[in-house]
Amino acid sequence: MPKRLSKKKQSSDPALTGFAALQRVIDLTEGPQKSKVIPMRKRKNPAAVELGRKGGKASAKARMEKIPEAERRRIASAAARARWAKDKGDD
């Protein structure tokens, strides 16, 4: 069985744990040469985002009009139960 690396005291903060893991990866990958710089992602075109959102709303409305009222009620009840479960932490 391989030996495990000794564990230092771990933080309960996930952000600090993630940062420490990222630092270890960077230290391992950076050797004699520097890593390449990755360019930032381009911002989305607000007009295109709005157009996609508009189409999504229209198709959802059309889809809901096609299903029977009893089925819509069942879907809405399930959604409400899921929302209340999240508030209580029962997830």
Per-residue pLDDT tens digits for 69-80: 999 999 999 999
The whole-angstrom separation of Cα 87 and Cα 9 is 32
Tell me if 58 sits within 8 A of 64, measured CB to CB.
Answer: no
Confidence of residue 6 (pLDDT cuts 50, 70, 90): low
- Which tokens belong to 30? 């950076």
Instruction: Flag whether pLDDT at 28 surpasses 60.
Output: yes
For the chain, domain boundaries: 47-88
Structure tokens given for 71: 């089925």
CA gap 45, 37 in Å, rounded? 24
pLDDT in tens, 47-88: 888 888 888 888 888 888 899 999 999 999 999 999 998 766
Burial 17-53 (b: 16+ CB within 10 A, else e): eeeeeeeeeeeeeeeeeeeeeeeeeeeeeeeeeeeee
